Chains A and B, each alone.
Chain A
Amino acid sequence: MDVLGRYRNLIVLVGVLFAQVLGLAVQVRRTTDNEPTRLIRIWAVGAVTPLEKVLSWARTSTSDVWHNYFYLRGVRAENRALKAEIERMNLEQVRISQDADQARRLQALLSFKEQFISQTMAAQVIGSSGSELSRSVYIDKGEKDGIRPDMAVITADGIVGKVLRVYRSTSVVLLINDQTSGVGALLDKTRLQGILHGTPAGEVQLEKVMSDEAVLAGEQVLTSGGDGIFPKGLLIGKVTSVSQGSELFLNIHVRPAADLSKLEEVLVVTKIDERQAAPDQTGAARAVDILAERLPSVPVKPDANDKTPATAKPANPATLPANLPANVPAKTEAGGKPKPVPSGPSTAQTLTPSVTPATASNTTKPLPKPVKAMTEGKPQPPADSQPVEDAPH
Chain B
Amino acid sequence: MAITYTSGEQVEVYRFSIPATVLIPLGALFLQVWLPLKFPFFLIFDLPLLVTIGFATARRNPLAGLVTGSVIGIMQDALMHQPIGLFGIAKTVVGFGASSLGIKLDVENAGARFLLTILFYGVHEVVYFVTARGLIGLRMARSWPHELLSCLANALLGVFVFMLLDRVKKRT
A residues engaging B (CB < 8 A)? 8-9, 12-13, 16-17, 20-21, 23-25, 27-28, 37, 40-41, 43-45, 47-48, 51-52, 55, 125-134, 136-138, 164-165, 172, 174, 178-180, 199-201, 261-264
Minimum CB–CB distance for B98 against chain A, Å: 13
Q: Cα distance A12–B96 when bound, in Å?
A: 10
Interface residues of B in 75-103 (CB under 8 A from A): 75-76, 78-86, 88-89, 92-93, 96, 100
Q: How far is the CB of A58 from chain B (nearest CB, A)?
A: 12
Inter-chain CA distance A41–B85, complex, in Å, is: 12
- Given contacts A126-B34, A132-B44, 7 further A-B pairs with CB under 8 A are A16-B66, A20-B89, A27-B83, A40-B78, A41-B78, A51-B30, A179-B138
Q: Once the chains bind, are A20 and B81 in contact (CB under 8 Å)?
A: no
A37 touching B131 in the complex, CB below 8 Å, given contacts A17-B92, A200-B140: no
Asked whether, in the complex, the Cβ of B81 is within 8 Å of the Cβ of A174, the reply is yes
Evaluate contact between B79 and A130: CB separation under 8 angstroms: yes
Closest to A24 in B: B85
CB pair A180 B81 closer than 8 Å: yes
Check B26–A48 contact: CB distance below 8 A: yes
User: With a CB–CB cut-off of 8 A, which chain A residues contact B33?
Assistant: 48, 52, 127-130, 138
User: Among A48, A138, A200, which residue has its beta carbon within 8 angstroms of that of B29?
Assistant: A48
* Residues of B in contact with A (beta carbons under 8 Å apart): 26, 29-30, 32-34, 36-37, 40, 43-44, 46, 62-63, 66-67, 70, 74-76, 78-86, 88-89, 92-93, 96, 100, 131-132, 135-136, 138-141, 143
Task: Compute how far the CA of A172 lies from the CA of B82 in the bound complex, rounded to whole angstroms.
Answer: 12
Which residue of chain B lies nearest to A23 when distances are taken between CB atoms in the complex? B85
**Which of chain A's residues have a CB closer than 8 A to the CB of B139?**
179, 200
Give, as a whole number of angstroms, the nearest-CB distance from A334 to chain B: 34
Contact yes or no, A37 B81, CB < 8 A: no
Smallest beta-carbon distance B58→chain A, Å = 17
Q: Which of B46, B135, B141 is in CB contact (< 8 Å) with A199?
A: B141
Q: Is the CB of A52 within 8 A of B30?
A: yes
When C-beta atoms are compared, the residue in chain B nearest to A181 turns out to be: B81
